[in-house]
Amino acid sequence: MKRLFILVFFLAGYSSQAADLRVGVARKPITPDLPFWLSGYASRDKPSTGALHDLWAKAMVIEENSKSRIIIVTTDILGLSREVSEDVAARAISRYGIDRSQLLLNSSHTHSGPVIWPALSIIFDLSPADQEAATLYTRRLADNIVEVIDMAMANLAPMQLSCGHGSAGFAVNRRQPTDKGMVIGVNPGGPVDHDVPVLKVAEPGGKLIAVLFGYTCHNTTSRSYQVNGDYAGFAQIELEKLNPGIIAMYMSGCGADQNPNPRGTVELAAEHGKSLADAVQNTLAGKLKPVRPPIRTSFTTAELEFAPFNLEKFRDEIVGTDIYKQRRAMLMLEAYNKGWDTRDFKYPVQAVRFNNDFSILAMSGEVVIDYAIAAKKRYPGENLFVAGYCTEVQCYIPSTRVLREGGYEPEESMIYYGLPGPFADNTEERITVVVSFVMKKTGARRSGK
């Protein structure tokens, strides 16, 4: 009888804790009107005239009460601009009285999604009509994100959250060492993280309502001219087919130096998407850990520096033959002559922690995997997912190792992003300081603490 009482007491306690959270989910299509230019590859020479499937903005609001909540928004695009993220944040703060730390924005980084103006503007030579379309789409995107948050807030209801982890093996490190330096290729011995974190949302009776899942890999399986979400889009579609009526949300990890392998076709993107969906589905069918309140959040910015540069470099590039270097040089020389400071860079970092059960470290930009591996080592007691492509996607974020090795991510990519050049050697050190700050604010436990 005593054992039965203990069991009943435990189950009653679990049920009470689970009912302490309310969750609302919603989705809204953000597929552009066609024809429309796609972003991600400088080699594209025409706009898209077709779509394989819709792109979506999806929102999940998780709240303990009106003061303790997190709003998570995922988007099937290359990345949000600072203009869009700050616009959305200002409106969400005004509407719902939230703190900035209570809004987490993430992009899938599909390379078959629309131009988000002015991100990567250097790779495009748009006609006036195409420029107008890109500008108007970006404005509508902010409106759509705010609207999907409103929809999720209206759907709030008592839910049970639980989490688990699966694995998908198609990501591979792409920084291949050669006699001529680092190139984008296949490096089987390079660092990877095949973890698939899964957050399950179910009604108190057990009915599955939504699933939030992540993976650490670039969405670059295909170079299609057809609008699509790459493997992440196909994975969400597959999960929603397997579980009719749910909303599946994908969150990008720190996959800046990770590529799908093999890659090159839409068929492979669908194959990788199914592989990822299977990993999520298997995790949902297994033993999951309850996710409970309280919800703790933190948000701050690091002040990053660029390595010293000489204006002579840009004076040479602007009269050179490389059109992308010419355009970057034009931006840099105009900024200098107008007195704008191009030496510093504001870098947002965010953390969300649910009790001692599950945490998300949300880093902006195209973050290399070293940051995820380092954070997991620094916080071994945390059930931690390190997300990249959060808040805004302004450029690649290299580690000290990647900076020293050179190559596309720390150097060449900065041309296309319209930035002066590589970051300074102290970049990882400065980011680590703010990571420690936001994690500490949420109560995360460091190694040896």
Residue 179 above 90 pLDDT?
yes
Average pLDDT value for residue range 421-445 = 97
> In this predicted structure, what is the pLDDT of residue 20?
78
Closest to 345 in 3D by CA, of 281, 407, 394: 394
The domain ranges of the chain are: 20-300+351-399, 307-337
pLDDT of residue 1: 43
pTM for the complete prediction? Answer: 0.95
For residue 286, pLDDT beyond 80: yes
Q: For residues 16 and 158, which has the higher predicted lDDT (pLDDT)?
A: 158
Mean pLDDT for the chain? 94
Rounded to 5°, angle at Cα 228 from 167 and 183: 65
All residues at 6 or more sequence positions from 57 whose CB lies less than 8 Å from its CB, including other chains: 27, 28, 30, 73, 74, 75, 76, 141, 144, 145, 148
Tokens 């040089």 sit at which residue? Answer: 329
Of 223, 167, 165, 163, which is closest to residue 192 (Cα–Cα)? 167
Q: What is the pLDDT of residue 19?
A: 47
| Residue 160, helix vs strand vs coil | strand
- Please compute the mean of the pLDDT values over residues 223-237 and round it to a whole number: 97
**Quick one: pLDDT at residue 431?**
98
Comparing 73-82, 116-125, 150-159, the range with the smallest average pLDDT is 116-125
Q: Is the pLDDT of residue 240 over 90?
A: yes
Q: Is the pLDDT of residue 403 over 70?
A: yes
> What is the longest distance spanned by two Cα atoms in the chain?
87
pLDDT tens-digit readout, 137-156:
999 999 999 999 999 999 99
- Mind giving me the DSSP string for 384-400? EEEEEEES---SEE--H
Pair 35, 49: CB distance under 8 Å = yes
- Class of residue 110 by CB neighbours under 10 A (exposed 0-12, middle 13-18, buried 19+): buried
DSSP 315-347: HHHTTSS-HHHHHHHHHHHHHHHTT---SEEEE
Instruction: Answer whether residue 98 shows pLDDT above 80.
Output: yes
pLDDT of residue 448: 61
Place of tokens 């009604």: 203
pLDDT score of 181 more than 70: yes
Is 31 exposed, middle or buried (CB count within 10 Å of its CB: 0-12, 13-18, 19+)? Answer: middle
Peptide bond into 348 cis (omega under 30): no
